[in-house]
Structure 1
Amino acid sequence: MAGGDKHSKTEAPTQKRKKEARKDGQVIRSEDFVTWASVLVATMVMPMLVRNGSNAARDALAMMLQVARRPDEGVLVSSVGEVMTSTLGAIMPTVVIMMVIAVVGNMAQVGLLLTGKPLKPKFDRLNPLKGFKRMFSVQSVWGTITALLKLTVIVAVAYTTLRSSIAELVAASPRSISSLLAEAASMSISLVRTIAIAALLLAAFDYAFQRWKQYRDMRMTKQEIKQESRDSEGDPHVKGRQRQLRMQASRNRMLAAIKDANVVITNPTHVAIAIEYKASYGVPRVVARGVDALAMKIKAEAATHNIPQVESRPLARTLYALCRVGEEIPPELYQAVATVLAFIQRLSDAQRTYVSTFDLHVPDSWSADGVTPERVSPTRRKMLERQAAKHAT
């Protein structure tokens, strides 16, 4: 089962999975990389440290001789202070550089991370059986292999470098003791630098392998990705049901507003637009709109409240294409809608139930083709054209 589950993890880890792992302290960091980088930098600043150290030692010796000639308390305190200042000035640059290397090395690998989860006690580590399994885990085996590889490479590099350096030192002409010591110090620094470079290459390889292994272990199954999507965004079925309920509630509010409409303009069967006008509005506005089944509901609701219905195909289609629920009608249709409202006002109560097309002469200029093009978006114009072609008789 474990092997099957491992092989089923074929999907790349999501950002949420990566953030959770980082929050838990599961980050890749190579201590060897920082250590050997510090050693490499130390070999580069060693000449400066030796020079500053020798100057500090010379100054300290001069101070000691001065105190010996003049055993005065004030001179002693002053000399000690100067010696300490000189010593700190000699070693502090190197210390600061080492600290900067350590901080930058860790920041480059894991960034800024503050978490206390790795410090929490895990009592399952006290289980002898799990401890035995960890001893022979892939992580432990890889750690042993890399340790042996590092040791082998370091020994090989040290042996090769020392053999060539000693051969050069022996073949050189006789020198003074100070010259030999300087040469030996230079060879030692060169040896340490070469070892540090080799160790850095190994640390970089180990870091790359650890990142690859972490990526492989963090891979997810398709089911896990689906479940995570549901947890973060919600179940698609539930979201669809909620969206359906919201649309139904919005539709019910729209149908309830029809009782306040002054007129319903129809297609006559495929489109219905309910228009409301009050003096306080200034401009008529659409309170309901719909096509097909929804248009039939709008017409039925209008009949229930004795709202007059005017059949005008071009005006109904144009209003549906240009206006949303709650929007005012566009200026291009002021005259058309005003004519309809004025006509309705002249009708008696008995005549207001339904008004046919022949009772109202609708000019051809009310069609969508007569509307200013910039008022209609390309999508809505295409929809209007499709509906006009579909319902043309």
Structure 2
Amino acid sequence: MAEGGSDGQEKTEEPTQKRLDKAKEDGQVPSSKELFVFTTLFIGMLIYVGLVPVLPSLVQEWGMLFSFSGEKGLTDAIFGNLGASFRFMFWKSVVFALPMLVVVIATQAAMSGLINWSNGALAFKASRINPLSGLKRMVSMKALVEMLKAIGKVTLLISASVMVFVSQIESLLVSNATHLTGGLSRMNDVFVLLIIVFLFVLGIMAMADVMYQHYQHNKQLKMTLQEVRDESKQTEGSPEVKAKIRRMQMTAGSRAKARKAAMDAVPTATAIITNPTHFAVALKYEVGTVGAPTILAMGRGHFAQEIISTGRDAGVTIFRNELLARALFFAGQVGEEIPAPLFSAVAGVLAFIYRLNEEEEVDAPEVELPEDMRFDENGKALL
């Protein structure tokens, strides 16, 4: 059955990546003692087997450190040989210990990924020195499992040892009875066989323990459904906020598409009404068609400058009238016909432009707007 959270809900959800990363930062990673024992013993046996051919020469070199030639004083010889023997043992130990260290690091990396330094694991926690907390750990399910594992391991290793010695005791007795060197060699073979059997037993236990530790680690990090929701809100925001962001993104995208389509249509405009730089409205009208002129594009500020520049490059006639440009901008809609109250004013402007395009000499028209179509630059009606 799944464990319960602090809010009473069951921890049924798999841990999120954020939860896993946080646990790793705190030093909470899966680790198997049995795997460490197996790998350490395995590399130790390899080193031992590798040292057997050179062991006599090492023993001889070690023995020479305790020989005295008489050329030096006794005190100097003793301290000199002690220093040499210490250096001898130190460097030989380094050769033995370095592979062990590499194996330990590689084993942990195989268990939980790359090694990372966690200050959280080293931080002081009062619960570690609290007797009550220590007692709880001693009687916990984890402690019971560890005790059963230890009992099982000892039982299996003792049984394996007994089986090896029982199967080899006769050959050992015969070898020792016939020749001392042969007996020692036979004992070495039995020792290697015993280590191999140990490795087999410990290997099985290590595989089982690795799977158990990963299962236990994942179980401890499981989350309640509410915890998953809370974390999602913290990282991505609430569903309401995300929906609002999506709407804003869709609106922005739609506006960008509409703006591009409007700018693409500007070169086909009949005229552009400006104010003279703050507002710009591109109109299209074809003589002989039914309906009023259509607004192709309109904008203010920088967008107005783009409309004017694009229209000028395309040879579109630009007519400057402050009030008419504002009226079209605040009362009209892109893609729709101009508002009915502006028909007369726009018709006069377009007639002027048509005659101008015919190279007639004509004065600019007086544009008259209805009172309710007069706006200031902020869209407020002018009284």
TM-score, length of structure 1 as denominator length: 0.62
In structure 2, what residue type is equivalent to 1:273?
L
Distance 2:165 2:368 in 1: 111
2:15/2:221 contact within 8 Å kept: yes
For 1:157-236, list aligned pairs within 5 A: 157-170=160-173, 174-236=177-239
Q: Deviations over 1:3-57 (max 9, x none)?
A: 6658743322211111011111110112332233122221222133344342133
Aligned to 1:277: 308
Structure 2 vs 1, CA of residues 265 and 222 (structure 1 numbering), >3 Å: closer, same or farther?
farther
1:98 CA drift (Å):
1.9
Q: Which has the higher helix share?
A: 1
1:82 CA drift (Å):
7.1
Aligned to 1:324: none
Select the residue among 219, 236, 240 that pairs with 1:237: 240
- 2:186 is paired with a residue whose SS is helix
- 2:313 is paired with a residue whose SS is coil
Distance 1:155 1:3 in 2: 37
In structure 2, what residue type is equivalent to 1:278?
S
Aligned to 2:154: 151
TM-score, length of structure 2 as denominator length: 0.63
2:176/2:183 contact within 8 Å kept: no
1:36/1:200 contact within 8 Å kept: yes
1:68 CA drift (Å):
2.2
Distance 1:214 1:345 in 2: 84
Q: Deviations over 1:212-266 (max 9, x none)?
A: 1221222223332222111111123124335656848x97xx89x9972232459
Aligned to 1:94: 96
Structure 2 vs 1, CA of residues 230 and 152 (structure 1 numbering), >3 Å: closer, same or farther?
same
1:280 CA drift (Å):
8.7
Size of the aligned set, in residue pairs, is 311
Q: Deviations over 1:177-212 (max 9, x none)?
A: 222122213312321332133123212211210101
- 1:164 is paired with a residue whose SS is helix
In structure 1, what residue type is equivalent to 2:208?
F
Structure 2 vs 1, CA of residues 349 and 204 (structure 1 numbering), >3 Å: closer, same or farther?
farther
Aligned to 2:40: 38
1:70 CA drift (Å):
4.3
Aligned to 2:69: 68
For structure 1, the residue ranges without an aligned partner over 5 or more in a row are: 286-293, 311-338, 354-393
Structure 2 vs 1, CA of residues 51 and 284 (structure 1 numbering), >3 Å: closer, same or farther?
farther
Distance 1:268 1:138 in 2: 85
Aligned to 2:266: none
Select the residue among 243, 252, 263 that pairs with 2:282: 263
1:114 CA drift (Å):
0.5
For 1:1-393, list aligned pairs within 5 A: 5=5, 8-62=10-64, 65=67, 67-68=68-69, 70-71=71-72, 90-110=92-112, 111-125=114-128, 130-170=133-173, 174-241=177-244, 247=251, 260-264=279-283, 273-274=296-297, 276-278=307-309, 282-283=313-314, 297-298=333-334, 303=339, 343=354
For structure 2, the residue ranges without an aligned partner over 5 or more in a row are: 263-273, 299-306, 317-329, 370-383
Distance 1:87 1:341 in 2: 109
- 1:28 is paired with a residue whose SS is coil
Q: Deviations over 1:156-193 (max 9, x none)?
A: 11111121121332355832222212221331232133
2:175/2:182 contact within 8 Å kept: no
Distance 2:146 2:37 in 1: 17
Structure 2 vs 1, CA of residues 131 and 79 (structure 1 numbering), >3 Å: closer, same or farther?
closer
